[in-house]
Amino acid sequence: MNDATPYGAVMVAARKLPPRAVTVAAFLDWNPDDRSGALWQLRDGEPEMTAPASDAHGSVQSELGRLIGNHLVETGRPCRAVTNPGVVPPVRSEYNMLVPDLGVTCSPPAGHAIAEALRRLPDGTWPAQAEHIAADGALRLDSIGLAVPLRAACRTTNL
């Protein structure tokens, strides 16, 4: 960065796609010779391997999956929790397929690697940053009518 470029301009510049960006379609056809069981996602046209979960992270992921799944059964919703779904976000959808820890879908099993829905804010926009929940707060999934105390999700950890 030179002295003529204001710092703020660098921070707000849009991230450019790599010269040979991989599309989601090509990514789904790609089969890395990786027998480790690693998960891959596509971020801005670049395949990236995701790190394995820590014990606490995996425990919270499993506990939330169980709590969400139980809620779906108890309420009779035709939905299901999915671990590590492939999600194509609405922004740069041709070059992004991310792999969150959990997803909930109410669509029938599709037989392919892409999940369908993401959570929007009440006004229909996508959140600019992650929502922070206090230790004594609740994780709310309004789309399926669920509120889970955060402590319940961390029940099997020392968090």
In tens, the pLDDT along 66-86 reads 999 999 999 999 899 999 888
Longest dimension (CA), the chain: 61
**For residue 108, how many other CB atoms are within 10 A of its CB?**
8
Residue 28 falls inside a structural domain = yes
Sign of CA pseudo-dihedral 52, 138, 78, 105: negative
Residue 96 inside a domain? The answer is yes
Question: Could you tell me if residue 3 is inside a domain?
Answer: no
| H or E stretch at 39 | strand 39-43
Mean pLDDT, the chain, integer: 79
Which tens digits make up the pLDDT trace of 124-142? 666 666 677 888 889 888 8
Residue 7 maps to a domain: no
Is 99 in contact with 84 (CB distance < 8 Å)? yes
pLDDT of residue 68: 95
Domain that holds residue 63: 20-153
Could you tell me if residue 9 is inside a domain?
no
pTM of this structure = 0.72
Question: What is the share, in percent, of the chain residues with pLDDT greater than 90?
Answer: 29
Can you tell me the distance from the alpha carbon of 71 to that of 121, in angstroms, rounded to the nearest whole number?
22
Q: Is residue 6 part of a domain?
A: no
Q: Give the span between the Cα atoms of 144 and 75, in whole angstroms.
A: 9
What are all long-range contacts of 34-43, with beta carbons under 8 Å and residues at least 24 apart? 39/84, 39/99, 40/99, 41/86, 41/97, 41/98, 41/99, 42/95, 42/96, 42/97, 42/98, 43/96, 43/98
Q: Which residue has better confidence, 125 or 159? A: 159
| Stretch 82-100: mean pLDDT | 87
C-alpha 80/C-alpha 105 separation (Å) is 6
State how far the Cα of 80 lies from the Cα of 95, in Å rounded to an integer.
Answer: 26
Q: How many angstroms separate the CA atoms of 145 and 118, rounded?
A: 15
CATH number of residue 76's parent domain: 3.90.1570.10
Q: Which residue has the higher pLDDT, 25 or 108?
A: 25
Query: 10-48: per-residue pLDDT in tens?
Result: 333 455 666 688 999 998 888 666 666 778 899 999 998
User: How many domains, the chain?
Assistant: 1
Within a domain: 129? yes
Residue 1 resides in a domain: no
